[in-house]
Amino acid sequence: MSVNEAISRLTEEQANQEAQQLRTKLKQWATEYYTYDNPSVEDSEYDATYQQLVELETAFPTIIVPDSPTQAVGDNTLPEFTKVRHEFQMLSLGDVFSTTELSEFIQRLITQGVKPEFNCELKIDGLAISLRYENGLLVQGSTRGNGQIGEDITKNLKTIPSIPQKLTKPIDIEVRGECYMPKSSFVKLNEQRQADGLEPFANPRNAAAGSLRQLDAKVTAKRKLSTFMYNVADYSDLQATTQSELLAELATLGFQINDTYAVVDDMDDIDAFISKYQEQRDDLSYGIDGIVIKVNDLATQMSLGNTVKVPRWAIAYKFPPEEAETIVRDIEWTIGRTGVVTPTAIMDPVTLAGTTVARASLHNPDYLIQKDIRIGDTVKLHKAGDIIPEISAYIASKRPADSQVYVIPDICPSCGSELVHLDEEVALRCINPKCPAQLTEGLAHFASRDAMNIDGLGPKIIQQLFDKQLVNDVAGLYTLSFDNLITLNKFGEKSANNLLTAINNSRSNSLERLLYGLGIRHVGAKAARLIAQHFGSMAAIMAASADEIALIDTMGEVIADSVVTYFKTIEAQALIVALDEVGVNMNYLGPTSAKLAATDSSFNGKRVVLTGKLQAFSRATATEWLENHGAQVSSSVSKKTDLVIAGADAGSKYTKAQELGIEIWDESRFEATMNSEE
């Protein structure tokens, strides 16, 4: 029996009761998704339930109530933010889930006399924002909220490089668009959150929303957000007469637009656009969950108007969720360098979004319990935000009859110590400072490129050193001898000498590398450099108070408290003494802030973007050199960019720099300039 047939058999009272149940579910899910940025169900389940409610209310119009999710726009606002009333309502989009529904929508418009010319755009998986400019200057930025009232997040939006503070023309304008988190930023953020014992974000959209709704703009700035703008509240002062012209005009004003849009005039071209980006979505650097089709003519958009919730001149085609079924064979627990114990499902290999997947993170014990995943379960697998393999649910009908609830371990699988929860963290931790898994992870981090950069000291070698009891902490690396190393598996004289040279060279690294290599919670490479630059020596850092550290620009209380807490421990103090005794440098060797400000480097004060593959040195080395010579290294190209340094196989950043007329250097010119300024 079809859904429509089932609905037709209902009485109005039965339909009303079912609608009330659906509304309760949808409101709860919407609050989790929009207000708290922590959804408990997949988008596809929300969409399917929402569609059931739409069909019920369409069949029984008398049961519609004003606060139904079908009548509401967007999300609630949070009390911590100042409210902004939108002069022009910010609408959401109607959804269709099949090309048949989409074709019917297009045909209805044509029947009404609409010219068959449509603009196809990617549906960015982010958070709707509004930017208001007066005389060309950004004066206010806000969320959509409920469409009428949003949240003032101006300070946070001003930290996003792709949002211009000043337009190329001194005009008054309100621009709408999407704030999103690039896939690479999403992966790094969740890795850090898991290391810190925090719940990972479900997808890039929720990560972007959570990042924008921070009371501390410094947190937002660290999240590496970006934007695509695509609409204006009132276009009467602009030259554009079509949606495609509007996008081009927004670009000339200094906004970042998504230039994949295409003007089409029939359903075949729309189908081709959908197919193209459904295939390419995994290769994009940002998440999309569908295609938006808009009437191209702006005057026609105005005449068609909108319903209480959605425009009549646009529709969103939602991609079907890509899922695969597989069987969970085991649940493996791994220990990170901070002691966080993470469960991972080991599954039969399946192909998903073009890659073979056999492992999926279960994040933390609470997630595992909530999903009720068990060994032997047949599960549905998808990629969260098109990136990270994730189990959405088990299939109850395929659960084995002898299935047992999975028991969360209470002892560390590496050292046998009791596992604990700290400070209401969702993570489970091993707090044994001598835990072998933590020590080997810590050694690998210490030797990594951004830390002490000990070339040739990878995880497998570290494991051998640890198993042979040749080292038990990072200071022990500096007491290794040739005779020690020659005993390692597949290690000859050349390998042993090369590793000894790399270890010895690392003794003379600048302080920031050592500070980062210690693996202090919340202290990344950039924070380590700023702290080392500010205090100058390890002794000064260890003697500093949290207030003194927090005064450093972009630092904040969390990092400051973490540094002070770390150096208060007897173990940390003993480790620093041991490192000092084996000749590891304890002083900052780079330029001080004062020197940077006064330097006559040609890079001083410039915004530089690196793109492509560099041959002579790593991206990290180039970034460090540029920052030490006063440059600000950015990850995206905009009108504010002064210089792009392009290595081999440079892609979209190179193209965008050409379009914007930004100066571009090849690697050889950059290397020659580096040598001339040393």
Per-residue model confidence as pLDDT tens digits over 183-194: 888 888 888 887
More confident residue, 66 or 527: 527
* Amino acid at residue number 45: E
Structure tokens at 245: 């012209």
646: burial class by Cβ within 10 Å (0-12, 13-18, 19+)? buried
pLDDT(130) > 90: yes
Closest CA to 128 of 137, 118, 141: 141
374 with 394: CB under 8 angstroms?
Answer: yes
Mean pLDDT across the stretch 641-645? 91
pLDDT(81) > 80: no
Residue 395 has a pLDDT of 94
pLDDT in tens, 376-415: 999 999 876 566 788 989 999 999 999 999 999 999 998 8
Bridge-based pairing of strands 288-295 and 118-124 is: antiparallel
- The CA distance from 678 to 667, in Å, is 17
Mean pLDDT across the stretch 66-85? 69
Q: How far is CA 200 from the centre of its chain?
A: 10
pLDDT > 90 in the chain, percent:
44
CA distance to 94, 273, 300, per residue, from 265 (Å): 21, 12, 15
Structure tokens at 26: 């949808």
pLDDT(598) > 50: no
Residue 654 has a pLDDT of 83
637 with 663: CB under 8 angstroms?
Answer: no
Residue 20 has a pLDDT of 84
pLDDT in tens, 543-553: 999 999 998 87
Read off the pLDDT band of 614 (50, 70, 90).
confident
Mean pLDDT across the stretch 334-341? 87
Read off the pLDDT band of 91 (50, 70, 90).
confident
Residue 553 has a pLDDT of 77
* Amino acid at residue number 158: K
User: Average pLDDT of the chain?
Assistant: 86
Closest CA to 365 of 438, 417, 421: 421
Mean pLDDT across the stretch 313-320? 92
CA distance to 198, 339, 517, 564, 677, per residue, from 422 (Å): 11, 11, 24, 18, 49
Q: Is the dihedral of CA 339, 344, 346, 351 positive or negative?
A: negative
Q: Of the ranges 267-281, 323-337, 564-578, 657-671, which one carries the lowest mean pLDDT score? A: 657-671
| Winning range, highest mean pLDDT, from 195-199, 404-408, 602-606 | 404-408
Bridge-based pairing of strands 226-232 and 95-96 is: unpaired
Mean pLDDT across the stretch 30-40? 63
Mean pLDDT across the stretch 505-531? 92
548 with 555: CB under 8 angstroms?
Answer: no
pLDDT in tens, 213-260: 887 788 888 888 999 999 999 888 899 999 999 999 999 999 999 999
Residue 2 has a pLDDT of 47
Read off the pLDDT band of 19 (50, 70, 90).
confident
- The CA distance from 431 to 419, in Å, is 7
Residue 35 has a pLDDT of 58
Mean pLDDT across the stretch 589-604? 63
Pick the catalytic residue from 25, 123, 294, 656. 123
Q: Of the ranges 349-358, 393-402, 468-477, which one carries the lowest mean pLDDT score? A: 349-358
Three-class SS of residue 397? helix
Domains and CATH numbers, the chain: 3-71 (1.10.287.610), 83-318 (3.30.470.30), 324-414 (2.40.50.140), 436-581 (1.10.150.20), 597-677 (3.40.50.10190)
Residue 594 has a pLDDT of 45
pLDDT in tens, 355-375: 788 999 898 898 899 899 999
Residues across the chain: 678
Mean pLDDT across the stretch 634-662? 84
pLDDT in tens, 146-182: 888 888 999 999 989 999 999 999 999 999 999 999 9
Mean pLDDT across the stretch 461-465? 92
Three-class SS of residue 384? strand
Cα separation of the two ends of the chain: 77
Residue 37 has a pLDDT of 56
Q: Does residue 123 carry a catalytic annotation?
A: yes
pLDDT(301) > 90: yes
More confident residue, 344 or 592: 344
pLDDT > 70 in the chain, percent:
92
What is the secondary structure of 308-330 as a DSSP string?
A: SSSBTTEEEEEPPP--EEEEEEE
440 with 473: CB under 8 angstroms?
Answer: no
